[in-house]
Amino acid sequence: MRDWCLIWFICLALISLGACIKCYRCDNKKNGACGEEFKSYQFTAYECIDQNMKCGKQTQLPLEDGWVGVMRSCYSLGSLPGINETNGCHYWINPSDNFTALICFCDTDMCNVGSMQGLASEAITFTFVLSAVILFMQSFLWS
């Protein structure tokens, strides 16, 4: 049983380290279900092509008619000049054309779903709580 626990933890560690993360990639110009009210069941998450990537969500400023552009994708670190790439949401102004957007980053699989504030850390906490509960139940049942 101890061995089994060890295997469980190793698996968990490997899953959470992951080679490359998976992110949703969509654009509400092409599919409205990618917008603020994200209908994740309409999309599949893609594995990002390299390890130096996070999931991102870009929310543009409302246009004159009130339409708000939303894009979700893998984000390659260092690709937007001057942006704060820590997890969470940051306003970004492109120095070359003053294009402004709110850009959110997170670094767990399929995390670029909703408003994203604090979502990554919640997912990690959830994983650990779940594994603690499972371990507890196993030792309870088998002892």
Binding site for ligand NAG (CB under 6 A): 84, 86, 88, 97-98
Nearer to ligand NAG, 103 or 110 (CB): 103
Q: How far is the CB of 117 from ligand NAG (least distance, A)?
A: 10
Output the six-digit token pair for 90.
């940051």
DSSP H/E element including 76: strand 70-76
Cβ at position 92, least distance to ligand NAG in Å: 12
Q: Minimal distance in Å, beta carbon 42 to ligand NAG?
A: 30
Q: Which is nearer to ligand NAG, 52 or 94 (CB)?
A: 94
CA distance 5 to 135: 7
Residue partners of 43: CB distance under 8 A and separation at least 6: 24, 25, 26, 31, 33, 34
